[in-house]
Amino acid sequence: MTSLFALVDCNNFYASCERVFNPKLEGKPIVVLSNNDGCIIARSNEAKALGIQMGEPAFKAKDTIEQHNVHVFSSNYTLYGDMSARVMQTLGQFTPHLEVYSIDEAFLDLGNFYGRDLNQYAGEMRHTVKTWTGIPVSVGVAPTKTLAKLANRLSKKSKKADGVLVLTDERHIQEALRRTEVGDVWGVGRRYARKLAAFGIHTALDLRNTSDAFAKKHLTVVGLRTVRELRGEPCQDLEMVAPNKQHICTSRSFGAPVTELSQLKEATANYASRCAAKLRRQQSCTGAITVFLETNRFRETDAQYFNSKTIALPTATNSTLELLHYANLALQALYREGYRYKKSGVIVSELRPQNQVQTSLLDIVDRDKHQRLMQTLDKLNGALGRDTVTCAAQGTTRPWQLKCEKKSPCYTTQLKGLLCVGTS
């Protein structure tokens, strides 16, 4: 079977999600802010045209935003995650072999579709996703994942392509490589681009024409794989099942500086609880937990403090109750009075499958009871919504929570967020 991959990428995904439920935003500049409404993490094409930069602090772009009436939204990951699931489910209608690469990208295996009109089939994908979900996408098709990435990128830049580009003809592939800067190749990046420029390698075509020995010496084995993929040799298969994470981190900035230990305990308990839930989803247990605290390094007038504490667990676990206990111990060892804390977080590491945990002879925890309790907890929160049932240590009012003053409703996951259509 000849290899053929499609990369489907949602256009300006976060901004597009907001437009689905507010059509008046079509054609208007939109930006989406990071947690705590700090930096710009997504922009519509109209916002990009105004010169608003990705990652720019929102306060620096304030004048441009006000002058051009840019629509600003707090990040709504619940909405974006659900819309992503709907897009991926729609793409699953076109092939059972699909890799969800990120929240807004998916690779599809089209190896059995060489006999079809690929432009028509890719166009049908694009039309169906837009019709069923409201999200515009671009589609790049090519013999390897790296070339499919490149085709997708060019499909957005070419008006003639209209969001679909199929690269299967060798002449078209060479022209596409000639028009692509080496730093824009998937997996190369700026640092390697500067290094390659010193050797006279400026385009993707230049990189493709390098020898295997050069690529392995200067770009490592991963770079060699990229070079071969640019030549049309598939070196990366679809990952049908995402690999388990090797460590999990949950961390947020506070909505306002926190000084009281009680509030830090609440926040840290929530982060530990989130880590525990993620561990159970991938059926893993953790052998170590790390808690960190930090002040705002950008406030030079404030006293600065950053520290972390790691505790090795006597028995690996994914029980929320156990992780809350050890996170609290670590936090109390870290806490110092007199500081205005900006952020805390929890990291779980030394992960292993939950069916391969070696218990201690001195273990006194009723693990069967913990397991039944966690299963019930996850079932309730899965059916009724995250954090419907929590531990008392996680608090209720949560004054430390991050800012999200411009957050749109959760249109697809909460009854109170449903749109109301009037008949008047």
Give the CATH number, domain containing residue 300: 3.30.1490.100
Are 152 and 225 in the same domain?
A: no
Are 26 and 127 in the same domain?
A: yes
Is residue 158 very low, low, confident or very high in pLDDT (cuts 50, 70, 90)? confident
Are 183 and 293 in the same domain?
A: no
**Given a cut of 60, is residue 34 above it in pLDDT?**
yes
β-strands 164-166, 248-258 pairing: unpaired
In a domain? residue 239? no
Between CA 186 and CA 209 the distance in angstroms is 16
Mean pLDDT over the full length of the chain: 91
Task: State pLDDT tens for residues 45-64.
Answer: 999 999 999 999 999 999 99
Domain boundary among 111, 134, 166: 166
In a domain? residue 263? yes
Q: What is the pLDDT of residue 386?
A: 83
Task: State pLDDT tens for residues 265-302.
Answer: 999 999 999 999 999 999 999 999 999 999 998 888 99
Are 185 and 136 in the same domain?
A: no
Are 94 and 215 in the same domain?
A: no
Region 348-360: mean pLDDT is: 90
CB count, 10 Å around CB of 36? Answer: 20
Q: What is the pLDDT of residue 424?
A: 52
Altogether, the residues listed in the chain come to a count of 424
**Given a cut of 90, is residue 411 above it in pLDDT?**
no
In a domain? residue 238? no
Share of the chain above pLDDT 90, in %: 74
Q: What is the CATH number of the domain that holds 183?
A: 1.10.150.20
Asked if 92 and 98 count as a contact pair (C-beta separation under 8 A), the reply is yes
Are 207 and 267 in the same domain?
A: no
In a domain? residue 385? yes
Least confident of 118-132, 183-197, 322-336: 183-197
- Element (H or E) spanning 31, and its range? strand 30-33
Between CA 228 and CA 212 the distance in angstroms is 8
Are 174 and 153 in the same domain?
A: no
In sign, the C-alpha dihedral spanning 185, 187, 188, 191 is positive
Angle at 247 between CA 242 and CA 253, to 5 degrees: 110
Is residue 179 very low, low, confident or very high in pLDDT (cuts 50, 70, 90)? very high
Are 212 and 138 in the same domain?
A: no
More confident residue, 127 or 246: 127
Are 203 and 284 in the same domain?
A: no
In a domain? residue 416? no
Number of domains present in the structure of the chain = 3
In a domain? residue 410? no
DSSP character string of 203-264: BHHHHHTS-HHHHHHHHHHHHHHHHHHHTT-------SSPPPPS-EEEEEEEEEEE--HHHH
Q: What is the CATH number of the domain that holds 15?
A: 3.30.70.270
β-strands 248-258, 137-142 pairing: unpaired
**Given a cut of 70, is residue 35 above it in pLDDT?**
yes
Are 20 and 42 in the same domain?
A: yes
Are 263 and 356 in the same domain?
A: yes
Asked if 110 and 234 count as a contact pair (C-beta separation under 8 A), the reply is no
Whole-structure pTM value: 0.82
Are 21 and 159 in the same domain?
A: yes
Catalytic residues: 105
In a domain? residue 30? yes
Q: Which domain holds residue 143?
A: 5-166
**Given a cut of 70, is residue 156 above it in pLDDT?**
yes
Domain boundary among 149, 166, 183: 166
Asked if 155 and 125 count as a contact pair (C-beta separation under 8 A), the reply is no
In a domain? residue 423? no
